[in-house]
Structure formats: structure tokens, C-alpha cells
């Protein structure tokens, strides 16, 4: 779907407002480095950069407010910006992050890869299981054996093994 330059896209106004808020916060933080005490003080460059961000944020916000909202028959925020695939994958990543300290790298990665492959690819679970095992074996060999990275074991598995 190509963007409509005449109408405001879903979430565009909120994003422009958040951009301006974070730009002002960055300017405030950079001002705290040394203030306006001199041209060669450490805070000059961060204040210039964040000042450009504030001005850009203002221009983007004004531009977004001048555009009319999209017609009612246009897809909404979730269809355009956050479709179901994204929500499911964000949930899988969240689960991966939660499980990693508990069951370790290998188990949590295997579960994540299997679920993500199965959801996105929708093939025979046996094929997905073989792909998951192959991918995990390659990742394990590269990181554990080649780069000698110590992979997390997990607190639950340490108690039982």
C-alpha cells in the first residue's frame, strides 16, 4: 500500500508528537551538560543536534496536523501499522526474553524458532522441527565453538542437571 500524501496516516499525529517530546527531552539533557556558558563547551554540539531535532519535530508535527484524517473506509491503525503478524512476533520475542534466564539459551531459542517458523511459514511441523534443529545447531556451533561465547544455561535447568 502506498502512502497517501493528502491524508494523515494512522498513528502519524501521535508519532509526530512523541518525536517532539523526545527531542525536547534530548535538548533539556544536552543543556544540562554545560548550558549556554560558551561556544566551545562540551554541551554545544549536543544542544545543536537536539535543537535541530526540536525544529524538525515541530515541522513534522505542524505538517501532520494540517493533513486531514484518512477516510473512514481506509484501514485503521492495527491493519496499517501493527498487523497481527507483528503482534504475534512481538509476543514470541517477549516470551523468549522471559524464558531465557529460566531455561537457558538452547531451550528458549528452540521454542522461539519453532513457534516463529511454524507461525510464519505454516508448513508441516516435522519440517519446521528439522529446520529449527538445523538452525539451532548452526547458531550453537558458531557462537559456542567458533567464538567461544558462554551461552546462558538457565536457573531451572541448573537445578535439575
What pLDDT, on the 0 to 100 scale, is given for residue 11? 85
Please tell me the predicted confidence (pLDDT) of residue 157: 66
Domain final position from 31, 51, 75: 75
3-state SS assignment for residue 47: helix
Q: Residues 6 or more apart from 103 whose CB is under 8 A from it?
A: 154, 156, 157
Pair 62, 89 in one domain: no
Domain range for 71 is 12-75
Output the pTM of the full model: 0.64
In a domain, 6, yes or no: no
Query: Which cell is 89 given?
Result: 512476533
pLDDT digits (tens), the chain, 161 positions: 555 678 888 889 999 999 999 999 999 999 988 777 777 788 889 999 999 999 999 999 999 999 998 877 667 777 777 889 999 999 999 999 999 999 999 999 999 999 999 999 999 999 999 999 999 999 999 999 999 999 998 898 676 66
Q: From its phi and psi, is residue 101 left (phi > 0), alpha (psi between -120 and 50) or beta?
A: alpha
Cell 539459551 belongs to 105
Q: Decide: 26 and 52 in contact? Cβ < 8 Å.
A: no
What is residue 73's predicted lDDT score, i.e. its pLDDT? 64
Confidence at residue 33, expressed as pLDDT on a 0 to 100 scale: 86
User: Does 89 share its domain with 43?
Assistant: no
**92 contacts 116 by C-beta, under 8 angstroms:** yes
Amino acid at each position: 500500500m502506498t502512502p497517501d500524501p493528502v491524508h494523515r496516516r494512522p498513528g502519524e499525529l501521535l508519532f509526530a508528537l512523541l518525536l517532539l517530546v523526545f527531542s525536547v527531552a534530548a535538548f533539556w539533557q544536552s543543556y544540562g551538560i554545560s548550558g549556554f556558558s560558551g561556544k566551545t563547551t562540551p554541551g554545544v554540539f549536543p544542544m545543536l543536534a537536539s535543537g535541530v531535532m526540536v525544529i524538525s519535530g515541530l515541522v513534522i508535527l505542524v505538517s501532520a496536523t494540517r493533513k486531514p484524517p484518512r477516510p473512514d473506509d481506509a484501514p485503521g491503525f492495527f491493519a496499517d501499522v501493527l498487523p497481527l503478524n507483528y503482534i504475534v512476533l512481538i509476543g514470541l520475542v517477549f516470551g523468549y526474553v522471559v524464558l531465557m534466564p529460566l531455561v537457558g539459551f538452547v531451550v528458549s531459542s528452540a521454542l522461539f524458532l519453532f513457534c516463529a517458523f511454524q507461525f510464519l511459514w505454516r508448513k508441516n511441523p516435522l519440517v519446521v522441527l528439522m529446520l529449527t534443529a538445523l538452525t539451532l545447531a548452526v547458531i550453537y556451533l558458531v557462537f559456542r565453538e567458533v567464538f567461544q561465547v558462554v551461552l546462558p544455561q538457565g536457573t531451572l535447568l541448573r537445578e535439575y542437571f
